[in-house]
Chains A and B, each alone.
Chain A
C-alpha cells in the first residue's frame, strides 16, 4: 500500500510573551492510503495541533510533513478539515453550503455537481437541497458538513472530534454513516477524539499521545473483520479487549 502521509520528527512550540509551551515533541508516523487512524490522548496533549499542522494552517517548529511525497507548506485542497461543530452557514441552503469549497476553489480539483448530487441522494439528504441548516437534525447537519468537506475532493480527511457535539444515539448512527461514506469513497482519514470507544469502533490504528508535550506513547493496531461497521464492532468480542488496552494506556 502507498504511504499517503508521513510525519517526520515533528516538534511544535507555542510562543507567548510570558512563556513558551512545548505542545508536540518528536512525533513521527505514517499513514497508508485508505487507512483510518485515530489519535487519542488527554486534553491539551496537542491532538488538534497535529491536525492543524497536517492541514497546513500551522507550521511545525521543526520536522517535516509529507503528503503524497510532497512537503506540506500551505493549505491545499488535498486535505479536508472537518471540525467539532458542523459550522454550516445558516444563511445558505444545504446545497450552497455543500458548494462553498467548490466556489472558493473555482471548481478546480473539485467534485462535479452531478457527483455531489449523487452523494446528497446517497446519504439521505435529497429533498433538503433547498432547506436551511436550521431545518435539519444534528445528524443530517454533520452529513452535510462531511459532503461539504468531500466536495473539494481531498485525499486526506481530518476529523476533529466531529461527533462530540451530538447526542449519544445520533453519534452512534453518524459514526456508522461517516465510516461507510469514507469507505465507499476510499478516503484516508485521521480522527481526533477523546472518546475511547469511538476510536476503537472506527479506526484501523489508534495512536495514543502522552500528556503535554505530546509524544507518541503507543500505536495500537485494531484487528477487526473488515466488513464490520462501527456499530457491529461495539458488539464484537475484541471490542472490550481493545477498549481496556487503550483505557490503561491513557491512565
Chain B
C-alpha cells in the first residue's frame, strides 16, 4: 500500500498496463477498508438490534445506544474526563518511566558484560514472574493510589523492555564494533555512534509493546487499589452489576489505546526516517 502512495505523490504516470495495475490494487485496498468499516457497522447493528428485540438481555450485554447514553451521563455529571485523565496520566507515566528505566538498565548491562552474566538468570525469572503477584507488596511498600498503580505499570513493562533492548544491542554486528574500535572509539562512542542509532527500529518496536503492557499494568493496578480511573469504573460497574458502565469503560479504553498506538506509529515513521 505504501508504494502506491509514493507513486501518487511523484505524479508517476506509467504505461496503460501500469495504470491498470494501479487501479486494480487501489480497488483491492478500497475493498479491504470498506469491508473493515462494514464489519464494525454490522457488529454494532446486530448488537443494538439484539438488545432492542430482546434476543439477549441488554442488562447483561448492554448495547451501543446504552453505551452512548452512559457516556453522556458520565459527561453530564462531570466525571467522564476525570476518569479518563487519571488513567491516561498513570499510563503515560508508567510507559515513560519504564521505557527510561528499561533502556538505562539495558545500556548498563550492555556496557558491563560481567554484570550482564551475573544478572542474566535473575532477568529470566523476573520476566516469567506474574507481576500481579507483587500486588500486596506494592500496596504495603509504596502505599495505595497513583503510586501503587504506576509502580505496577512499571514492573510489568520494565523487564521486557530491558530484555528486548539488550538483545537488540547484542545483535549489532561485531564487525561494525571492531571497525569503530580500530578507529580508536571508546565504549561510550560505540554506544552513541553505533549501538543506539543501529537499534532505533527495535527501540520503536519496544515502545509499541511497552504501550500495550503499560495499559495492562495500569488497569491491573487500578483493580488493585484505586478510587478513580477507567479500571476503577470497570471494577465498580462489575460490583454493582451495571454492565453499561463496564462496557463504556472498555470502549473508551479501546479508543484511547488506539489513539496512543497511532501517535507512536507516526513518531516511529518520523524518527526512523530522520535518524
Contacts and interface: CB of A to CB of B under 8 A. Distances in A.
Interface stretch (B113-121, B160-168, B179-187): B179-187
A75 B184 contact: yes
Interface in A72-88: 75-77, 79-81, 83-85, 87
B236 to A, nearest CB: 49
B182 A85 contact: no
Given A91-B197, A91-B200, A103-B193, A55 B185 contact: no
A88 to B, nearest CB: 9
Interface centre among B179, B181, B200, B275 (most CB of A within 10 A): B179
B176 A87 contact: yes
A104 to B, nearest CB: 5
Contact of B198 (A89, A101, A152): A89
B189 interface: yes
A154 B237 CA distance: 73
B19 interface: no
Nearest to A90: B198
A83 B179 contact: yes
Contact of A101 (B175, B176, B183, B275): B183
B123 interface: no
A91 B275 contact: yes
Contact of A87 (B173, B181, B193, B197): B173
B197 A104 contact: no
B183 A85 contact: no
A150 to B, nearest CB: 12
Residues of A in contact with B, size category: 20 to 34
Nearest to A84: B175
A104 B193 contact: yes
A105 interface: yes
A100 interface: yes
Contacts of B180: 100, 104
Interface centre among A80, A84, A92, A104 (most CB of B within 10 A): A104
B178 interface: yes
B183 A83 contact: no
B183 A89 contact: no
B67 interface: no
Contacts of B176: 87, 89
B107 interface: no
Contacts of A136: none
Contact of B182 (A55, A89, A91, A92): A55
Given A87-B173, A87-B176, A57 B181 contact: yes
22 contacts: A57-B178, A57-B181, A75-B182, A75-B183, A75-B184, A80-B182, A81-B179, A81-B182, A81-B183, A83-B175, A83-B179, A87-B173, A87-B179, A89-B176, A89-B198, A91-B197, A100-B180, A101-B183, A104-B180, A104-B183, A152-B183, A152-B184
Q: Which 6 residue pairs of A and B lie closest in terms of their CB atoms, listed nearest first? A: A81-B182, A101-B183, A104-B185, A91-B275, A87-B176, A87-B179
